[in-house]
Amino acid sequence: MTFATAAEAVQHIVTTEDMFALEETDIRGVSFRTFKNAPRHLGEILALTKEYDGLEFLVFEDERYTYEEFREQTYRLSQALIHEAGLKKGDRVAIAMRNYPEYLMLMMAISAAGGVIVFLNSWWTTDEMEYGFTDSQAKLAFVDAQRSAAMQPFAEKMSIRRIMVRDATTEGTTAFSDLMAASPSSEAPAVEIHTDDDMAVMYTSGSTGHPKGVVQTHRGAISAVLSWLMGGRLAEVMGTAPEPPLGDDGEPLQVCGLITTPMFHVSATHACFLVGLASGAKLVMMYKWNAMEAVDLIEREKATRFFGVPTMSADLMEAAANMGKSLSTLRSMEAGGAKRPAAQVGKLAKAIPNAQPSTGFGMTETNALGIGIRGQDYIDRPGAAGRLYPPLQDMQIVDDNGHEVPNGTVGELIIKSAANMRCYLNKPKATASALKEGWLYTGDLATVDDEGIVTIVDRKKDMIIRGGENISCLEVDAAIHLHPAVAEAAVFSMPHERLGEVVGAGVALKPGADVSEADLQSFLKEQLSSFKVPERIWFRTDPLPRGGTEKTDRRALRIECLGAEAGASLVTS
């Protein structure tokens, strides 16, 4: 059966395939399209993996786990959480560590036990970490040695129990192996979980100084996962899906994805891990990004899917060329977290011809669901963000009064779907500003053309995205103002060839004060994670430029500091 349009194919899929059947559901007083037969919670996704028994699921360095082994370990951990750690439904449990297999097990075990996962950024400083625990009120944390040490100044004061994963225990911590040894069973726990119960709190930087805790529900995450799976089905129906690579036996290889980004990001947890788990894929997890190691893993494990921030795609291309590797099994080169430089798209298509280049726009607030584009569509429109993923989402481009604007006109992108967050934790005003009658106001300025192709043109909110990491301008502003020589300061984005954007700053000094760029950067490294520290600082004695409302005009400051660089040359250091 052939279809003239994608809309016709979507209609065929949702009306003939039970997995993607739709219904209208009232969620917190708003009507949404939902998947009628979706798993109710993450625990049900795990239970459904029994159909993949016999397949390999997870590879980490020299460790390998089948679907059965992963499920058994996860259930054992879930039972230990309930019976040894005393976890009760709705309790929040923090994870603060680098990428390990236990991270994935913890996600599913906490969920299956009825708990709420709190994802904490492993790059945070002690102060940032303390804020996360204060905000989330998590009293149980799974950590590695570095994160445990960062928590040392406040863990006892806040009565936080730390479970040490992999690293040796220190005073005040418990070994993960001891917790597992206390588990009474490897059976699935009998906990009643509603599909609209909270699943996780994931922190994201926004336009305020402190990160915001995005509260995600089970339905929200599963809605995103099934939407992506339907995207794959739609490509098959429309004939745009790439031919799978074949093994030595002539049979298609198992889909295999490489997890390259930290697990505290929604792209890794949702778009990589949960999609892979739900679809019978093999996942290869990297402890930290290394391009040459990634090339070796793709070749050895016959990976078919690469997902990372655009910087990683560039690194991978360069490493593969230097190593003389073709990466012939790859069928998709996906990017998220930051906009891929348009020039990179054609280079990817040429360098790895078997793999479709693709990009996605999603947010922590949407469980990473949103807009995407791939293949020839993307090659032809390298600056675009793509089309809205069907079938649950609705989209509008609106003006400052919330009125939809004509196609081709710049406005704010807003999205309505069951995948949207429930709220910002402990921030009712921010929630009310972002969520209105089911619509999420993204804060991103965009246009849409007559074909439904969306292009993101700017951000309303003051944020810098450095290699996929969101950086609040106001947070960095506040840190700079702590220095005694500073009268006022404002940061702005600087273009960067590899990272997309980095932080620059304009600083007005107090009369008679003096401080060097290196000294101020050193000072800021004590206040902020290193990736937030400005890479260049422009000093001045006159006030920073201001707009008509007397607020600092970041755009004018950026132009003053960068000059021609603001729209042309790139920082490469």
In this structure, what CATH number is given to the domain that contains residue 145?
3.40.50.980
Asked which of 358-372, 391-405, 547-561 is least confident by mean pLDDT, the reply is: 547-561
- Asked if the structure places residue 67 within a domain, the reply is yes
Between CA 4 and CA 107 the distance in angstroms is 41
In the predicted structure, residue 510 carries a pLDDT above the cut 60: yes
Coil, strand or helix: which one is 186?
A: coil
> Is the residue at 12 inside a domain?
no
Q: Is 114 exposed, middle or buried (0-12, 13-18, 19+ CB in 10 A)?
A: buried
Q: Which two tokens stand for residue 23?
A: 């219904």
Is 391 inside a domain boundary?
no
Strands 92-96 vs 63-66: parallel, antiparallel or unpaired = unpaired
Residue 573 CA to residue 561 CA, distance in Å, equals 17
Reference 160, options 148, 169, 168, 170; nearest CA is 148
Q: What pLDDT does 567 receive?
A: 45
Output the average pLDDT for the chain: 93
Are 94 and 118 within 8 A, CB to CB?
yes
Side chain identity at residue 281, one-letter code: A
pLDDT (0 to 100) of residue 547: 62
Cα 193 to Cα 200: distance, rounded to the nearest angstrom? 13
The answer to whether position 126 is within a domain reads: yes
Distances in whole angstroms, Cα of residue 214 to Cα of each of 2, 194, 262, 361: 41, 19, 17, 17
CATH number at residue 555: 3.30.300.30
Contact 79, 189 (CB under 8 A): yes
Q: Which of 193, 221, 244 is the last residue of a domain?
A: 193
410 domain residue, yes or no: no
- For 377-449, list the strands marked E by DSSP: 387-388, 394-398, 411-416, 423-424, 435-436, 439-448
* Residue 99 domain flag: yes
Residue 307 lies in a domain: no
d(CA 218, CA 189): 17
The pLDDT value recorded for residue 568 is: 40
Given a cut of 80, whether residue 550 has pLDDT beyond it is no
CA dihedral 371, 374, 379, 385 (to 10 degrees): 10
Asked, for residue 331, whether it belongs to a domain, the answer is: no
Does the bond joining 357 to the residue before it have cis omega, within 30 degrees of 0? no
Ranking 305-314, 407-416, 540-549 by mean pLDDT, the lowest is 540-549
Domains of the chain: total: 2
For residue 310, the tally of other CB atoms under 10 A from its CB is 23
What does the pLDDT average to over 293-321?
94
Of 171, 193, 215, the residue that ends a domain is 193
Range of the domain at 489: 466-566
Rounded to whole angstroms, how far apart are CA atoms 82 and 524?
Answer: 42
- Which range has the worst mean pLDDT, 109-118, 197-206, 255-264, 284-293? 197-206
φ and ψ at 323, to 5 degrees? -90, -5
Q: What is the DSSP secondary structure assignment for residue 271, as one 8-state letter?
A: I
Amino acid sitting at position 512: G
Confidence label for 572 from pLDDT (cuts 50, 70 and 90): very low
Q: What is the pLDDT of residue 205?
A: 66
Task: Select from 148, 174, 193 the last residue of a domain.
Answer: 193
